[in-house]
Amino acid sequence: MTRMNYCPQCASPLARRFDGGRERIACLAEGCGFIYFGDFSIGCAGVVVRPRGNEIEALLVQRGQNPFAGTWQIPGGYAEYDEVLSLAVEREVEEEAGIVATVSDVVAFRHALAGSSGGPSTNVYFIFRLNYVSGEPQHDGDEIAAAGFYTLDEMEDIEGVQGLSKWGIRQVLGSKSGSGLSVTSMGDPNTWQIYGLGEGDSR
């Protein structure tokens, strides 16, 4: 993690002080009060499934760039600072795979400290269940090298499918749609969201 040396509010040098039960990087300039809590990011990924005959297939994309170039995963990325999560994951799925899908619920999330999952910042990563709407898998050949729908059996024959993605797909296949955390309220215009437990479908 990059060390912050100067206060972004008043440009004074930062120092360490004991605050809130632990030592923190903070601004000691009178009247400022800035505390540096570290670098954080929010990631989101979507499990999109659809029927294929008597089986269920899930959407995967192959990373075309590092980190982890060549591996396969459910589509996703970082939420922008001015973007609510449900819209971020729908955008990522369409950008990376050309699939239009809408959020159903959150089936899981992972919290990882900086560097522990390959990222530069401490990260919270949400795995969403999305309802397939339309489209066939497409990829840009740059950030995404390939995209497609595959059954879990087919994934066993694909080299480099990330374990977390397969785990997320199994969470979706083993639970009812809407049984996770669903958007129960959204600010206007899309400035905040509340997620809560739903009663689920009868699927």
- Is the domain spanning 40-197 CATH 3.90.79.10? The answer is yes
**pLDDT score of 202:** 37
CB 47 within 8 A of CB 107: yes
- For 6, the token pair is 């100067």
Over residues 145-173, mean pLDDT: 97
Whole-angstrom distance, CA of residue 61 vs CA of residue 139: 8
Whether the link from the prior residue into 51 is cis, omega within 30° of 0, is no
Report DSSP letters for 97-126, one per residue: H--EEEEEEEEEEEEE-TTTTS-SSEEEEE
- Kindly report which listed range (95-104, 126-135, 161-170, 186-195) carries the lowest average pLDDT score: 186-195
pLDDT in tens, 128-157: 999 999 999 999 988 999 999 999 999 999
d(CA 165, CA 81): 24
Q: What is the pLDDT of residues 42-101, one digit of tens each?
A: 999 999 999 999 999 999 999 999 988 999 999 999 999 999 999 999 999 999 999 999
Ranges of CATH 3.90.79.10 domains, the chain: 40-197
Query: Which helix or strand (DSSP H or E) is residue 93 part of?
Result: helix 85-97
